[in-house]
Amino acid sequence: MYFRTGTLLLPIIARNVMQYKGLFWSAVVRAILSLRRDQGKAEAADTTGLAALNELETGLTQQSQLEQLLTALCPPADRHLLGRSLIGYFDFNKMGNLVVYAMATRNIQAAMACFVPRAQQLFHSEVALTKDDEAPTVALQWQASNSALIDDLQIYFLFALFRHLAGRHFDFSAIGSPHDAAGSLLAPLSQSKRLQDTQIHLRFASEWCLRPSFYHSQAIEKLLAPTLSQTEVPSIKQSLHNVFAKAEAPARIRAEWVAEQMGQTESGLRRLLRSHNIAFSAMLKEYIHDKSCQKLLGGSKTDDTAVELGFSDRRSFERSFKEFSGISAGQLRQLGNRLRFHKGNHSLLEIVDNLPPLPATIQSLVAMDDDNMTLKSVVKLVSKDPIFQAHVMSKASKAIYGSAPENLEQAIGRNLGLSNIKQLAVLFAAQQQLTAQCRHNDVEKLTDAMLLCLPVFNAIEAEHSSQLAVTEELRQIMLFSTLSLFLVFHDKCLFVDGVMRTWDEAEDFAHFVAQVSEEFGICLYGATSLMLLRWGFQSSINQQLWKLCQAIEAPASAGVAGKILTTQNVSFTASAMSEQHSEAVLATLPPAAIARVSTVLQQWKG
């Protein structure tokens, strides 16, 4: 028997955000482990589950690994007993902002309005909401996975969430699934009818949707609403990406063909894109060159990549690639070879490939046009993200920026500077997203060293009559070029132990960078370019990062690259390494520069 669906209200195309999946499943495993402990179970599976929590939170665990872990913790013989009590062990607060927001809404209807468009942040599939006004019933439907247990736990989670909102008498009227209902975790709690279906299908009475929740909190809704990912524009972009993926030769895609695939006219498609401020050509270029990067880093030859993507010849491909990314296809392929052919370095590519996108607030900030960016517009945007706002206020209160700011306007406009806020935003996002997996014992010292680079640079250069102009590109290089430290210190990096040893033994930061390059074949600046390409940074910054790779092989480097390397050596050694090493590095500067840099460092620490 199959479910009869009513009018489709909300077909969803959502982005797969790895970090939210990780938080969700780690919280589920924590609940199971807690319940098993209280039931007196202490087996090898529990030890394995506890050890896997950190990796689960990264969101990088494969579904097969997750299924294996869950099966060991929930053997079929124990599921009836586990299912009876597990609902009391779920800690929604550990499942990420999306779930915390949903549990604080006024009723199930509000929770579904929040959850359904973003379901792929937690589940493996898009979720559709349907309504049958004749019954009247509401249904949730999504594609079944290959794992009956994973699907069962997702159903169990929604059951627990809806009972939290509507009370302990809530129940589904029917549950459809292609899996065998025997041994379901929900069996001891739910009286719902079990039906055979090709997909997961949950149906319940519409009256439950508006039953008020006693846990509704406007304060939590207001706090977390800005942090939820935007869904309307990404869904349109994802629709375009899905169409692009159908083409055998992406470089030959035309808007007319895309419109036809989407069931629209070309003019209709362009109007739709304009209304959402999406440029078709920019989207297509981004897609093509993302594919280019994947192929080149994977070892494909430049000629073969050009043919596979549909370019007329190698020359036109290389011209397009360099215009988009700032570096040549050959340079990126060479970087990929260095990452691939040294033991363990493939893990860096996996980490980069699985980096979550920048948070919505940061994306919006980075996308702002520099010429039209105003203090008012930036403050309005930053104020929507309370965590980023707190970070801005904290950094702006450093003595190096003058008196402590009284509000966000002063923090950005007077202390940090409007021109620096974009760079600070990306640095903060990287810190937030990668700190949990960073093996370095003081991540804040690393980010402080990055922030210190520009003031240290100005202090070193102050006495030169022809002082180098601080351009937007130079600001980005100073702040972003060492972001790959988060990669080489990443817990998933297979040679992280060696990197930690190199850090502890290094005489200064320049020595550390050179040793990482020599011992592991990794140019930190080249690895950073992979991160920035993943996050949509193109043009000349990647070319400058490549020049820094060349500069570290020539200790007496002059010009801009040499000055950047000197600045970073001073900044990182003085703020993130031992005091003894700091004094030795400062001693290499002219006396007047030593005094100025020492003042900068003292003000920062103060």
What would the two tokens of residue 23 be?
């938080």
Beta-carbon contacts of 119 under 8 Å, excluding residues fewer than 6 positions away, are: 12, 14, 125, 126, 127, 142
**Is the pLDDT score of 463 beyond 90?**
no
Report pLDDT for 386: 65
User: Token digits for 276?
Assistant: 């959402």
| Share of residues in the chain with pLDDT > 90 (%) | 25
Q: Is the pLDDT of residue 82 over 90?
A: yes
Domains of the chain by residue range: 7-221, 232-341, 360-605
The tokens for 199 are: 């997909």
Residue bearing the bigger pLDDT, 282 or 203? 203
pLDDT band of 276, cuts 50, 70, 90: confident
Per the model's pLDDT, the better-predicted residue between 185 and 237 turns out to be 185
Q: Which of 264, 309, 316 is nearest to 284 (CA)?
A: 309
- How far apart CA 501 and CA 444 sit, in angstroms, is 19
pLDDT band at 20 (very low <50, low <70, confident <90, very high): low
What pLDDT does 585 receive?
A: 87
Q: Which pLDDT band holds residue 326 (cuts at 50, 70, 90)?
A: low
Task: Report whether pLDDT(376) > 70.
Answer: yes
Helix-helix angle 509-520:559-576, to 10 degrees: 110
CATH architecture of the domain with residue range 232-341:
Orthogonal Bundle (1.10)
d(CA 529, CA 531): 5
Question: How far is it, in rounded angstroms, from Cα 149 to Cα 155?
Answer: 10
What pLDDT was estimated at residue 1?
30
Q: What is the pTM of this model?
A: 0.51
| E strands in 259-298 | none
pLDDT at residue 159 in the model: 97
pLDDT attached to residue 213: 94
Highest mean pLDDT among 47-51, 228-232, 327-331, 602-606: 47-51
Instruction: Please report, as a single letter, which amino acid is at residue 157.
Output: F
Q: Which residue has the higher pLDDT, 342 or 352?
A: 352
Measured in Å, how far apart are the chain's first and last C-alpha atoms? Answer: 71
pLDDT digits (tens, 9 = 90+) for 555-569: 555 578 888 899 999
- Checking if the pLDDT of 343 tops 50, the result is no
Fold classified for 360-605 = Hypothetical protein af1432 (1.10.3210)
